[in-house]
Amino acid sequence: MPASGSGFRIYPRDRSGGEGKPLPLPINVPKRGLSKEEAAEYCGVSEATLGRHGPAPTKITKRKIVYDRRVLDRWLDELAELPSQELNGALQPTPEEKLLEAIHARKATLRRTPG
């Protein structure tokens, strides 16, 4: 089973020894890849409006597409004529992403500290 810090989802074993269902994300960690239905709800528009006027989704596999929450945020910011989140062409991390980076850095430090 992969380590929790490796970027893989942890699947707990059920009582029969088989793999269980994936663990849900913690409530304070928003999902980044959204389905078309979730993306439309997130933006407050219909799926048809999102499809016609919204940003292009990201193709994960032949049949799976997702809408990146950050791309949706940029699109909505542009529509509202809000200042860009980009600095020198690079997208700046959201507060949630800064928090996750700090958590991962702290975990990495703790792993390196002899116990």
Question: How confident is the model over 24-36, as a mean pLDDT?
Answer: 83
Which residues are 20's β-sheet partners?
none
Mean pLDDT, the chain, rounded, equals: 77
d(CA 115, CA 110) in angstroms, rounded, equals 9
- List the chain domain ranges: 33-85
pLDDT in tens, 76-107: 988 888 776 565 666 677 777 777 788 878 87
The residue to which tokens 């089973």 are assigned: 1
d(CA 1, CA 3) in angstroms, rounded, equals 7
